[in-house]
Chains A and B, each alone.
Chain A
Amino acid sequence: MIFDPMMYLKVFLVGGLICLIGQILIITTKMTSARILVTFLLSGVFLHVIGVFEPLKEFAGSGVTIPIMGFGYSLAKGAIEGWYDYGLIGLLTGGLTATSAGIAAAVVSAFVFSLLFSSKTKK
């Protein structure tokens, strides 16, 4: 079902909560953004391995897939599915295949937009 208001509420609350946990981590541990990204990505991989991520995704949709944990989940899921479909090679290719659209989009858009714009001094 699309445009379900309850779904949007769940997406907002769960997505917001994940970011709130991240903010608590930043304040208490002074983590830099690269470390925050890595930590949450790994938590996505971990949650998938212990079988929690898919039920969470059923429940909150984009609330868990848009945070970088979703990226970790896709990587792990891709690797595991790759193993069942293609064996050892699948284990290697699966993760990046599943996330290739995102990475390629990020690289191409970064390339294009950095040709078009320049960084500006902060005020």
Chain B
Amino acid sequence: MHKKQGKQTIVFEKSPCIIGSYSVVGPKEGKGNFAKYFNEIIDNDLYGCNSYEKAERKFLIRAINMAIASAKLENEEIDALICGDLMNQIISSSFAARHLQIPFLGVFGACSTMVESLILGACMIEGGFCEHIACATGSHFSSAEKQFRYPLELGTQRPPTSQWTVTGAGCSVIASKGSDIAITKATIGKVTDWNVSDVNNMGGVMAPAAMETLKAFFEDTHTKPSDYDLIITGDLGKLGSEVLMDLMEYNGFNLRTNYNDCGQMIFNNKQKVFQGGSGCGCIATVLNSYIIERFKKGTLNNCIAVATGALLSTLSSQQGDSIPAVAHLVLLERRKNDF
């Protein structure tokens, strides 16, 4: 048990590190705030496919292939692919894995998948079971609309609390050595449900989960938010991140100085996305572009990434259930020694 700190936090002594990363996004994201950070912007979000589901898969395959290439590895050298997405039965991930022929672990954590897969991958590296692991996830606006909301051509207004699913995929390749961006700690979140059932207010649904996980992390590690350079959440959006700051303040933590939300940052104000971006692809693309880039430039020495996911299905919400949410946390730090 010596690799555990407090109740929920894991400490990686060997500090698995991110040796390769890649982000590929759709046209709308490519006009947003991070246009210059994304590795690749695809002009047409069908990506040459005949359905949005197939396009989502292709985004994912592209991100994984290029992340592996950016780590100067071959697909055969990757010991495992840990991947998930929002589609029913995570078809995007498993079909991408069918194409890639890398040993595959499918995970589902809704929009928390990126961090969930990083935690699992880091554990496998730390344990010495694998040498290189690819952790990936992606989402697509049009396939998510079709599965969770309405047909695209239905003439209806989006409510002001709604968010816009990010079209794009991101992949990180992690290994035991080879880079100074290390995963040093992780907190696995509990499923949190504060009885919110509004499917159009995901920020409000997921903010308590993010609060619980952050609080557990700070208590386990005896640190406070100001000890870190940057704290990011996945896709709480504008409203959700304000709620999170209020909740943290209520619990005695001040997030107001060094906190931001990927969903809030990814689109600019002119893009009519209401509360901002959402979906697995949101933190996956931002983490693998903007955050990694800042580490490389040296403007960031440590960063807490919390990915939040709403664990609902259309059936559960139609049956009147409230929406459970989960949040997972990883701490990325610049590794000083042995590099």
Contacts and interface: CB of A to CB of B under 8 A. Distances in A.
Nearest to B55: A121
Interface of A: 26, 30, 32-33, 119-123
A121 B156 contact: no
Contacts of B198: 30
Given A30-B159, A30-B200, A119 B152 contact: yes
Contact of B45 (A30, A33, A119, A121): A121
A123 B154 contact: no
Contacts, number: 27
Interface in B126-160: 141-142, 145, 150-157, 159
Contacts of B52: 121
Name the 5 nearest CB pairs between A and B, nearest first.
A119-B152, A121-B142, A119-B153, A33-B156, A121-B45
B142 to A, nearest CB: 5
Nearest to A26: B157
B152 A122 contact: yes
Secondary structure class of chain A's binding surface, majority of residues: loop
B224 interface: no
Contacts of A119: 142, 151-153
B215 interface: no
Contacts of B153: 119-120
Interface residues of B, number: 18
A121 B154 contact: no
A123 B157 contact: no
Nearest to B156: A33
27 contacts: A26-B157, A30-B159, A30-B198, A30-B200, A32-B150, A32-B156, A33-B150, A33-B154, A33-B155, A33-B156, A119-B142, A119-B151, A119-B152, A119-B153, A120-B152, A120-B153, A121-B45, A121-B46, A121-B52, A121-B141, A121-B142, A121-B152, A122-B141, A122-B142, A122-B145, A122-B152, A123-B28
Contacts of B28: 123
A39 to B, nearest CB: 15
Task: Output the residue of B151, B156, B200 with the most chain A CB within 10 A.
Answer: B156
A2 to B, nearest CB: 30
Contacts of A26: 157
Task: Output the residue of A120, A121, A123 with the most chain B CB within 10 A.
Answer: A121
Contacts of B141: 121-122
A122 B142 CA distance: 8
Contacts of A122: 141-142, 145, 152
Interface string B190-228: 000000001010000000000000000000000000000
A30 B45 CA distance: 30
A26 B159 CA distance: 9
Nearest to B146: A119
A24 B77 CA distance: 59
Interface in B32-85: 45-46, 52
A121 B141 CA distance: 8
